[in-house]
Structure 1
Amino acid sequence: MSYLAPAISIIVPVYEAKSTLERCVNSLIDEEFTGQYEIILVDDGSRDGSGVLCDALRQRYPSLVHVVHQENVGVSAARNAGIDIAAGTYLSFVDSDDYVTSDFVRICASMTRSDSDIIFFDYVRERPGIRHIVKPPVIPNDLESARLLALTCESNSPCTKLYKRALCKGVRFPLGQSLGEDLIFNLRFLAVASSAAYIPDAMYVYVENDGSRTESEACLQDVREYELMLQGLLDFCSTCRLGNQGRDLALSSMRRVIANYAARLRRQGFDKLKIARALGSIERIQDVIDAPTVGWKDVFRRAVLSHRLYSLASFALKGK
Structure 2
Amino acid sequence: MLFSIIIPVYNVENYLQECIDSVVNQIVNYAIDAEIVLLDDGSKDMSGKICDNNYNKYPDIIRVVHKKNEGLLSTRRKGLLLAKGEYIINCDSDDFLSENALYEIKKIIDKSHPDIVIYNMGIFDGHASKPYYQNSFTNREYIKIGKKQILKSYFIDDYPIVTTMAGKAIKATCFNLNKDYSKFYADSFGEDTLQSAEVFENAENIIYLNKVLYYYRSSSGMSAKFKEDYYDNFLQIIENVLDYPYILNNDEISSWFNVKMLNTLARSITQSKNSNSMNYKERKKYLIDLYGKKYVKEILNTLNSNRRFMSFKYWFILLIFKYKCFLLLHKILLL
* 1:77 correspondence with 2:82: no
Q: Which of 161, 164, 180 is the matching residue for 1:157?
A: 164
Residue 39 of structure 1 aligns to a residue in which SS? strand
Residue of structure 1 equivalent to 2:284: 272
**1:168 CA displacement:** 0.8
Residue of structure 2 equivalent to 1:231: 239
Residue of structure 1 equivalent to 2:228: 220
- Which letter does structure 1 place at the counterpart of 2:235? E
**1:33 CA displacement:** 4.3
Residue of structure 1 equivalent to 2:149: 145
Segments of 5+ residues of structure 2 without an aligned counterpart are 138-142
Contact 2:242/2:248 (CA < 8 Å) preserved in 1? no
Residue of structure 2 equivalent to 1:241: 249
When normalised by structure 2's length, the TM-score is: 0.82
Moved more, 247-256 or 159-168: 247-256
Identity %: 19
- Which letter does structure 2 place at the counterpart of 1:306? K
Q: For the structure 1 residues 254 and 46, does the alpha-carbon distance in structure 2 shift closer, same or farther, using more than 3 Å as the test?
A: same
- Which letter does structure 1 place at the counterpart of 2:50? L
Segments of 5+ residues of structure 1 without an aligned counterpart are 1-5
Q: For the structure 1 residues 79 and 190, does the alpha-carbon distance in structure 2 shift closer, same or farther, using more than 3 Å as the test?
A: same
When normalised by structure 1's length, the TM-score is: 0.86
RMSD of aligned residue pairs (Cα, Å): 2.6
- Report the Cα distance in structure 2 between the residues aligned to 1:238 and 1:287, rounded to whole angstroms: 24
Residue of structure 1 equivalent to 2:56: 59
Runs of 4+ residues deviating >6 angstroms: none
**1:120 CA displacement:** 0.6
**1:56 CA displacement:** 1.2
Residue of structure 2 equivalent to 1:9: 4
Residue of structure 2 equivalent to 1:308: 324
Residue 274 of structure 1 aligns to a residue in which SS? helix
- Which letter does structure 1 place at the counterpart of 2:153? L
Residue 158 of structure 1 aligns to a residue in which SS? coil
- Size of the aligned set, in residue pairs, is 309
Contact 1:136/1:154 (CA < 8 Å) preserved in 2? no
Moved more, 189-198 or 286-295: 286-295
- Which letter does structure 2 place at the counterpart of 1:251? N
Q: For the structure 1 residues 61 and 285, does the alpha-carbon distance in structure 2 shift closer, same or farther, using more than 3 Å as the test?
A: same
- Which letter does structure 2 place at the counterpart of 1:148? K
- Report the Cα distance in structure 2 between the residues aligned to 1:251 and 1:66, rounded to whole angstroms: 43
**1:286 CA displacement:** 2.8
Residue of structure 1 equivalent to 2:130: 132
Residue 146 of structure 1 aligns to a residue in which SS? helix
* 1:293 correspondence with 2:288: no
* 1:25 correspondence with 2:20: yes
Q: Which of 86, 91, 94 is the matching residue for 2:88?
A: 91
Moved more, 231-240 or 159-168: 231-240
Residue 69 of structure 1 aligns to a residue in which SS? strand
Contact 2:120/2:209 (CA < 8 Å) preserved in 1? yes
Residue 157 of structure 1 aligns to a residue in which SS? coil
Contact 2:259/2:306 (CA < 8 Å) preserved in 1? yes
Residue of structure 2 equivalent to 1:3: none
Moved more, 51-60 or 301-310: 301-310
Residue 197 of structure 1 aligns to a residue in which SS? strand
